[in-house]
Amino acid sequence: MYRKWLVAILAVSILSGCGKNAAFEPVDINTDIDVCDVCNMSITAVNYATEVIMKDGSVEKFDDIGCMVDFMGGATKETGALFVRDANTGEWIEAQKASYLLNDDYWTPMMYGVISFKDDASAELFSTDNGEGSKLTFDEVVEHLGEKGSSKH
């Protein structure tokens, strides 16, 4: 039941911001001061960082995709845009446009094992060098991590 509500909330949040993301841009991560808004860990592995830009302009920063999904399950503000980073280059990408790999053996800051990439080719390159992963869409990532809940915290 929790998973269905989480997916529904994320879908509404994302769809309410569709076509309007041009006004929302990701904000640089400052590794000296930025901490994850869910687990309060320092954000030092910037290629795994994610952000939620709210419609009111506030920015929520996370050290792991799993923390972002956990946050969105309880978000009370309207979402403007969701951003993840390409694990190879650190380039910011809109979460819905990214490609994802899942492998419980992949290292991520909170060990969710989900890594984002700008495209399928980048994901395949990572997979070749670091072990096979299951390819997922953003909606599948949300569903998978929603099943886990906040078991990592």
Task: Write the pLDDT tens digit of every residue in 85-135.
Answer: 999 999 999 999 999 999 999 999 999 999 999 999 999 999 999 999 999
pLDDT of 16 reads 47
Confidence of residue 30 (pLDDT cuts 50, 70, 90): very high
Neighbouring C-alpha atoms within 13 Å toward the C-beta of 135: 14
DSSP state of 103: -
Say if residue 19's pLDDT is above 80: no
Say if residue 11's pLDDT is above 90: no
pLDDT of 100 reads 99
User: At 21, phi and psi to the nearest 5?
Assistant: -70, -15
Question: What tokens does 19 get?
Answer: 């076509």
Confidence of residue 147 (pLDDT cuts 50, 70, 90): confident
Burial of 150 (0-12, 13-18, 19+ CB in 10 A): middle
Burial of 51 (0-12, 13-18, 19+ CB in 10 A): buried
The residues, any chain, with a CB within 8 Å of residue 73's CB and separated by 6 or more, are 2, 5, 6, 9, 10, 146
What average pLDDT is seen over the chain?
Answer: 88
pLDDT of 1 reads 54
pLDDT of 5 reads 46
pLDDT of 22 reads 57
Higher pLDDT, 7 or 61: 61
